[in-house]
Amino acid sequence: MTLTIKVPSIACEVCGNTITKAIQSQQSDAQVAVDVTTKTVKVDTAASMEQIKAIITEAGHTPE
């Protein structure tokens, strides 16, 4: 399933890379796309929205 999550704390590509690495380290099959301009993260994964938001939070960002 594809999840789209707004993450207002994304400021640059480094933030996007941090989030991508965090998700893929815990969900190795996840496909992650971060759009810095719109501050959104799209994740194609079997994990739940809550799981992905928890990973993003652990990476130091605040998902909506």
Per residue in 5-15, pLDDT tens?
Answer: 999 999 999 99
Owning domain of residue 35: 2-58
In a domain, 63, yes or no: no
Tally DSSP H helices, then E strands, for the chain: 2, 3
CATH number of 33's domain = 3.30.70.100
Inside any domain, residue 64: no
Tracing tokens 């640059």 back to the chain, one arrives at 12
Residues whose CB falls within 8 Å of the CB of residue 46, separated by 6 or more in sequence, listed in order: 1, 27, 29
- pLDDT value for 10: 97
Pairing of strands 2-6, 31-35: unpaired
In a domain, 31, yes or no: yes
Number of domains in the chain: 1
Ranges of the chain whose pLDDT falls below 70: none
| pTM recorded for the entire structure | 0.94
